[in-house]
Structure 1
Amino acid sequence: MSSDGNSGSDGEMEKINVRVPRALLTQIDEVWEQRGYANKSEFIRYALRDAVTLQHSSLRKHSSTSPKAVNSGSKARRSHTRM
């Protein structure tokens, strides 16, 4: 990771490298501008933020579930959704 001089609403930005399947990148390229994002990075930031927010609210909803069960469930989802 490297620091990026740009500051967003969340503070200082960090630059990361992510590998994605070519087909997914093609889909991202087709929709980011159509949906009104300034650039591909902004689109991906919002998608990541939504994923984290969704996961966080799901965990709060099931707070009586043991941490072990929550972790094993998220691992199962990750392996299922990989391309």
Structure 2
Amino acid sequence: MVTFIEKGFLYGFILGLSLGFFIVPYKEVSPMGEGVTETTYLNLVDFIIPLMRVSVFTAVIGGLVGFFFYRKKNKSLQ
């Protein structure tokens, strides 16, 4: 049982980390007027915290999916 949950958690974390690189913004673009924009890149800490939040959320969902797969597999064996 533990291996199903651990694998689901690990795969969910890796999937969330890779998707988070596309979802979490790393810069802020502000219009200054007359067609001029200002681009401010976020500090590393300001980027990593939301990235970890997305990764841990998908890891928990992956762990739940692993748990339900384990339950389904055990019901089919009985």
Higher helix proportion (structure 1 or 2): 2
Q: TM-score with structure 1 length normalisation?
A: 0.35
The higher relative CO (CA closer than 8 Å, separation ≥ 6) is in 2
Select the structure of larger CA radius of gyration.
2
